[in-house]
A and B are shown apart, each in its own frame.
Chain A
Amino acid sequence: MTTVQEHAPNPAAGDPGRPIGFGRLQRKEDPRFVRGKGNYLDDIVLPGMLHGAILRAPVAHARLVSIDTSEALAHPGVRAVITGKDLQALNLAWAPTLSADVQAVLVTDKVRFQGQEVAFVVAEDRYAARDALELIDVEYDMLPPVIDARHALDADAPVIRDDIEGRTDNRIFDWEIGDAAETEAVFAAADVVLTQEVVYPRVHPAPMETCGAVADFDPIDGRLTLYETTQAPHAHRTLYAIVAGIPEHKIRIVSPDIGGGFGNKVGIYPGYVLAVVGSIVTGKPVKWVEDRSENLMSTSFARDYIMQGEIAATKEGKILAVRTSVLADHGAFNATAQPTKTPAGFFSIFTGSYDLKAAYCKVTGVYTNKAPGGVAYACSFRVTEAVYLVERMVDILARKLEMDPAELRLKNFIKPEQFPYANKTGWVYDSGNYEPAMRLSMHMAGYEDLRREQREKRERGELMGIGVSFFTETVGAGPRKHFDIVGLGMADGAELRVHPTGKAVVRISVQSQGQGHETTFAQIVAEELGIPPESIDVVHGDTDQTPFGLGTYGSRSTPVSGGAVALVARKVRDKARFIAAAMLETRPEDLEWEKGRWFVKGDPSAGKTIAEIAFGAHGTVALPDGIDGNLDAEVTYDPPNLTFPFGAYICVVDVDAGTGHVKVRRFIAVDDCGTRINPMIIEGQVHGGLTDGVGMALMEIIAFDEDGNCLSGSFMDYLIPTAMEVPDWETGFTVTPSPHHPIGAKGIGESATVGSPPAIVNAIVDALAPYGVTHMDMPCTPARVWEAMQGRARPPV
C-alpha cells in the first residue's frame, strides 16, 4: 500500500497535543454525499420549471442559409424555440469571452465548429425538448474548414472570424517573453544544442457532472437567480451584468454542489445564457443540462499546443538555456480564461526548476474550426504545457549526453540559497528546496535497484522504462497589479463572524468542486482561533451570501482565498484581544495568546476563551473606544506574489513489445506544497492529478478528421482511466513553506496533473530506448507505441 513519508518537519503538525487545526480530518461535506444528499445542478427542481435543449451544428464550417422552426414549435409541450435572429433582436447573439473576444451564443451568420449552438428549444420536459430538436430544419452552405493549426496562417486559409471587422487572417496574437538576443548568444556558444517538436494534444477535463444551469428570472422585480455549474460565481455575475444588462445587484449566482470542475466550469457557455433567455421569454424557470457529447464537443478543451523545443547545454551537462516557439490552437473563439496580460497564461514558467543563463519563448495563437476554450483540465494557466516541454527536453538532453536523467536534474537545480529566485522570464520563485524532494522520490522508488532491474530485463529483451520529472508550478494568481481577468483583479475576500456562543461562520469567494473547502477553510480558522472545525460553517458558492472574489481555478483557492481566511481570523483574534482586556480589566498588551484564548501574561488561569469573548462582545461588556459590539471581520487578500509548489515524480512502466501496450507499474510522487493543512485531502488531490496524467499520457485526445468532425464525442471514444489502468499511488512530501503566504501554503490542486505526464512519457521513451526512440507524442496508445518500434533497431535479445 501507499506509504506517506514525512521528510522535512511539517510546521503545521508540530505539536501533537494541539486540540484542533491542521492535520488529517474527515471531511465535513462527506455525510451528505455518502447519503446521496448532495445538491447538484440537475437535482434542482423549481415550481413550473421548463427544460431547454440545444440544437448543434453537424458541420465545422458553413454559412447558415435558413432555419425553419415551425414544426418544432407545434410539437406538444414545446413553449419556445429561440434562434440567433431572436437573440440579435435582444442584442444577445454574441457574448464577450474571458479573453476579450466575442463568442456566438447562437449562430447568426455561420457555423465555426462542429457542435456549435444553432437553436434552443424550451419544453415542458426534457424528452419533449429533445424530440423537438429533431423537427428543426436547417440549411447550411458548406465552407472549407481550418482544422490543422499548422495551416491556419496559410495565405489561402479561409478566414474563420469574418465577423470581426478588418480581419484578414486567423492569427489571434503573437506574444513573446525573455531576451531573444541573449538566448541566441548562449545557444550559439553552447557545446550541445538539441531540438524537438513536442505536441501537447487537445484533451478535455470531462468532469463526471456535465455543465448546466437553471435560470429563474422574476419579471416583477427584474431579479435573476441563476444556478450554474461554475467555478467562479462572482466573476460570472459581473459578466452577466455586462452582457445581459441586468443590474448586478439584481443577479444572484448560485453554484451548488459541483460534480468536478478541472477548469471545465470556469467559462460562460452559450447554454447558460440561453437558459436565462429562455426564462425571460417564457416567464418560467428553465433548466439546461448538457449531455456528455455536448460536453466533450463544445465546452472548454485544454492544451492543444504545438511546441518547438530547444535546449542548450555544456557537454558536462550544465543546462544553459531553453527556447521555444509555440503554435497555440484556440479554436473558433478565443475564450480561454487567462489573465489579460498573459495570452499564453503562465507558459513562461517553461524554464522549469533549473538555473539557466537565458530563456526565450514566442507563442502564436490561431483560430481553427474547433470548439473554443483552452483553459481547462486542472487548467493551470498553461503551466502543464510548460512543464511538459522542459521536462521532455531535459530527458532528451540526458539521453544525448548518456547521463542519468535524475542526476542531470540534480546537477542543474536552482539551489536553496538562490531563493527567492528570479528566472529569465520574469517570475520570482518564492521558495524551494529541490534536491531533498528529488532524493526522497529516488529513495522511495529504490532508484538504483530499478535501474539494475531494467538492465537485466533489457538483456532478456523485456521493455521496462523509468521516467523522472521534476516540476515547479506558478499558482495562486495573483497580485492585482499584474493579474486580472476581464479587468477584475485576482483577489479574494473572506468574512468571518463569531456568534455569541463561540460558533462561527466563514464566507469565502472561492467555490469547491470536490476539493473539500468546507473542511480545509474551517481548519484554517480553527488553527488561527482555536474554534473546533465542526463549530465553523464554511459558506461558498452563492453571490448573495459571500464576498467578492475570482473563484477556484489555477490552484488558487489555498494560495489566495486561504490567505484571506487566515488573515480574517487573525483580524478577529486581534479584536478579541481588546475585548478580552476589557473583560479582564487589563491592557491588551498584557495579554498572551494560546490557541483558543487570551490570558494574562504570567497568570494563565486568568483568561478568556474565544467563546467567552464572543459572548462578551455581543453582551454587556463595556467596550474600549473604537471596538464595536461583535466579533466579526472581513478582508480582501491581494497576494504579494504567486506561490511555486514543486515536486519530484518517478514512473515505472512495462511495455509489451508485441502489442505496444503500456502498463504503469509504479508511480512515486513527492510533492512540496508548503504548509499542509489537511494531509488526507492533499493526498487525494495528488492521486486525482496523477490519474489525469495517466489519461493524458496514454489515452485521452480530442481528435478531429479533416472535415472537422470531432472523433472523441463520447466516452466510447474519449477514454478516461478506470481503476484498472492506474497503480496504487506512492506519495511522499517535503515542506518548504511559502515565505509570503500567511500560513505558508502553496496550493496542490494541479501539481500532479502538471508533473505526471512528462514522468510517464519519459518512462515510455526510456523503455523504448533499445529501439532508438527519443521522443513520442501523447497519447501513447498501443498503436502509437507499436508503430514507434517498427523498422527500428531491435532490442538485443
Chain B
Amino acid sequence: MQISMAVNGDEVTREIEPRVLLVHFIRENLGLTGTHWGCDTSNCGTCVVLMDGQPVKSCTVLAAMADGHDIRTVEGLAVGGTLDPVQQGFMEEHGLQCGFCTPGMMLTARALLDRKPHPDDAEIRQAISGQICRCTGYATIVRSVQWAAAHPPGWDTETDAGTDDGGAAGTTAEEVTA
C-alpha cells in the first residue's frame, strides 16, 4: 500500500507492506535511525516520536496509521542547525549516558514543555514514566528538562549568553551544587 506523511517537515510517500510498524518505517524506509526500539511489548519508550505534536510509541503504531499525519523525530528537534533547548539541556545536565533512550526522552520532554513551559519535577517524572532509562537514574533527566524550561527557544540570542554557568563544551568548571 502507499502512504504519505510529513516527517520533520518533509512530505514522504512510500510503498509499504500494510503490517510495517512505524518504528521500522522511520528507521528502515526513511533511514532515520535516531528513533530506537528496545522491547516487544510497548514498555520501554525508546521508540517515542511525536505524531501531531503528541508523543507516541512508534512500535505500537502501524506506519499505515500515520498516513496523513505529521511526524517529528529526534532528527527534527534542532531547527536550522540550532539545538532545541531540550537537546542543550541534556548535554548541560548529563541527561544521557549510552544515549539509547535519549531521543524518546527528549521528544516527550519537548511535548511536555510545549504544553506546560514550567513543569515541576513531579510532572516531568510523570511525563517520562512510560519510558525506561537503564543508565541515568532519571534525576539528571529531570534536571535536563528543567534546564530546557529555564532556557526557552531563543534564550541564547535574546539574552546574554555569557551569563550561562553550565560549563560549555571545552571548558571546565568546579563541581557544582545543583
Interface residues, chain A, CB within 8 Å of chain B?
1-4, 6, 10, 13, 16, 20-31, 33-40, 42-43, 45, 126-127, 206-210, 257-260, 262, 291-293, 513-516, 532-534, 679-681, 683-684, 686-691, 714-716, 720, 722-724, 726, 728-729
Contacts and interface: CB of A to CB of B under 8 A. Distances in A.
Interface stretch (B63-71, B98-106, B155-163): B98-106
Contacts of A28: 169
B32 to A, nearest CB: 7
B140 interface: yes
Contact of B174 (A16, A33, A722): A16
Contact of B173 (A24, A714, A728): A24
B142 to A, nearest CB: 7
A6 B175 contact: yes
A473 B87 CA distance: 36
B41 A716 contact: yes
A210 B103 contact: no
Contact of A726 (B40, B135, B137): B137
A474 B94 CA distance: 27
B178 A293 contact: no
Contacts of B125: 723-724
Interface string B54-91: 00000000000000000001110110000100011011
A534 B170 contact: yes
A515 B97 CA distance: 6
Contacts of A680: 94
Contact of B178 (A2, A36, A516, A714): A2
B34 A206 contact: no
B142 A35 contact: no
B94 A33 contact: no
B102 A34 contact: yes
A33 B178 CA distance: 23
Contacts of B20: 127
A258 B98 contact: yes
A206 B175 contact: no
Kindly list the 6 A-B residue pairs having the minimum CB-CB distance in the complex, ordered from nearest.
A36-B34, A514-B98, A687-B137, A259-B100, A33-B99, A36-B74
Contacts, number: 215
Contact of A683 (B73, B94, B99): B94
B112 interface: no
A3 B126 CA distance: 23
A728 B146 CA distance: 14
B87 A35 contact: yes
Contacts of A258: 98
Contact residues of B: prevailing secondary structure: loop
B172 A208 contact: no
Contact of B98 (A10, A25, A259): A259
B154 to A, nearest CB: 18
B19 A532 contact: no
A22 B174 CA distance: 9
Contact of B103 (A13, A31, A36): A36
A25 B126 contact: no
B167 A24 contact: yes
Given A292-B40, A714-B41, A720 B134 contact: yes
Nearest to A260: B98
B169 to A, nearest CB: 5
A209 B36 contact: yes
A215 B94 CA distance: 34
Contact of B36 (A206, A208, A691): A208
Contact of B39 (A22, A34, A260, A292): A292
Interface residues of B, number: 72
Given A36-B33, A36-B73, A36-B75, A729 B137 contact: yes
B83 A260 contact: no
15 contacts: A10-B175, A25-B169, A29-B99, A34-B91, A35-B87, A36-B34, A36-B103, A42-B37, A208-B98, A209-B38, A259-B36, A260-B135, A292-B38, A680-B94, A690-B137
B150 interface: no
A39 B135 CA distance: 18
User: A28, A29, A33, A258 — which one has the most chain B CB atoms within 10 A of its CB?
Assistant: A33
Contacts of B171: 25
A30 B96 CA distance: 8
Contacts of B136: 684, 687-688, 691
B7 interface: no
Nearest to B125: A723
A39 B100 CA distance: 10
A2 B139 contact: yes
A345 B170 CA distance: 40
A256 to B, nearest CB: 11
Contact of A684 (B75, B77, B94, B170): B94
A411 B31 CA distance: 61
Contacts of B36: 40, 42, 208-209, 259
Given A30-B96, A690-B137, 17 more contacts: A23-B175, A26-B167, A35-B75, A36-B34, A36-B75, A207-B100, A208-B36, A292-B40, A514-B100, A680-B94, A681-B94, A684-B135, A686-B137, A720-B132, A722-B131, A722-B132, A726-B138
A716 B99 CA distance: 23
B168 to A, nearest CB: 7
Contacts of A210: 38
Contact of A207 (B35, B126, B131, B134): B134
A13 B139 contact: no
B105 to A, nearest CB: 10
B114 interface: no
B44 interface: yes
A25 B167 contact: yes
Given A514-B135, A688-B134, A4 B41 contact: no
Interface string B13-47: 00001011000100100011111111111011010
Contacts of B94: 27, 680-681, 683-684
A27 to B, nearest CB: 7
Nearest to B17: A127
Nearest to A690: B137
A494 to B, nearest CB: 22
Nearest to B173: A24
B73 to A, nearest CB: 7
B172 A23 contact: yes
B121 interface: yes
B50 interface: no
Nearest to B92: A26
B91 A4 contact: no
B39 A714 contact: yes
B176 interface: yes
Contacts of A726: 137-139
Nearest to A722: B129
Given A209-B98, A515-B97, A715-B43, A723 B87 contact: no
A503 to B, nearest CB: 13
A38 to B, nearest CB: 5
Contact of A4 (B126, B173, B177): B177
A30 B93 CA distance: 11
B128 interface: yes
B141 interface: yes
A281 to B, nearest CB: 24
A532 B170 contact: yes
B133 interface: yes
Contact of B38 (A13, A208, A533): A208
Given A26-B92, A292-B40, A723 B142 contact: yes
B176 A24 contact: yes
